[in-house]
Each structure stands twice: as C-alpha cells, then as structure tokens.
Amino acid sequence: MNAAVQDKREGEKKPYAKPELIQLSEIHEKTDALLTSLFRAS
C-alpha cells in the first residue's frame, strides 16, 4: 500500500507524466483498496 502511494507521489513530481496515466493509477489504487476491504469482510 505504501509503495503505491509513493509511486503516485513520484508520478506527480514528473511534469511530463500523462494525466491519463495518473488517473488510471488512482483508479487502480481505489479498486485495490475496495478489493482489500471486501476480502477482509469475508
């Protein structure tokens, strides 16, 4: 989880990072967090 957050911060530092890629990584993080919470609930 921390690695994903760190990658996101490093991505924001790069001025040439594509907005689409940043949005995809954010969606991936939210999906991963949702799946993790679902697995914990079951």
Question: What was the pLDDT predicted at 5?
Answer: 58
- DSSP H helices in 1-42: 2-13, 19-41
Question: What was the pLDDT predicted at 2?
Answer: 64
Q: Domain count of the chain?
A: 1
**Phi/psi at 3 (nearest 5 deg)?**
-65, -40
Tell me: the pLDDT tens digits for 11-40? 556 666 677 777 888 889 999 999 999 999
The Cα 22–Cα 28 span in angstroms is: 10
Tokens representing 35 are 């799946």
Which residues constitute the domain of residue 35?
Answer: 2-41
Question: What was the pLDDT predicted at 25?
Answer: 84
Question: What was the pLDDT predicted at 21?
Answer: 73
